[in-house]
């Protein structure tokens, strides 16, 4: 079973999108390590964008395990955004 290339991307474009997604996730991690009081909207928002971009690239370069990982990564980012929006994610 393969994941359909629903966006009609060329392999090169999919690679570029995947690298941008990867950079988002790395930068989000560096942000929480490098900032004394990270903004949860920045942290989780950038992680969500990164996961979505990587998932898009995986529609061309199918890897089911990586797609599952990105789904969980995105779900956790949405959870973090929801906590922040509800005021439960306040930094002390």
Closest CA to 28 of 49, 53, 12: 49
* Six-digit token string for 50: 């990164």
* Diameter over CA atoms, the chain: 47
31 and 84 in contact (C-beta within 8 Å)?
no
Distance CA 1, CA 57 (A): 17
Q: Which residue has the higher pLDDT, 61 or 79?
A: 79
Asked if pLDDT for residue 90 goes beyond 70, the answer is no
Confidence band, pLDDT 50/70/90 cuts, at residue 5? confident
What per-residue confidence (pLDDT) applies to 91? Answer: 55
Asked if pLDDT for residue 92 goes beyond 70, the answer is no
């Amino acid at each position: 079973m393969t994941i359909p290339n629903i966006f009609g991307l060329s392999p090169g474009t999919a690679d570029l999108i995947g690298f941008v997604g990867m950079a988002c996730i790395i930068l989000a991690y560096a942000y929480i390590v490098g900032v004394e009081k990270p903004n949860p909207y920045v942290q989780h928002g950038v992680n969500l964008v990164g996961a979505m971009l990587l998932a898009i690239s995986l529609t061309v370069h199918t890897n089911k395990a990586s797609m599952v990982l990105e789904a969980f990564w995105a779900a956790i980012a949405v959870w973090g955004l929801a906590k922040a929006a509800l005021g439960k994610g306040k930094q002390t």
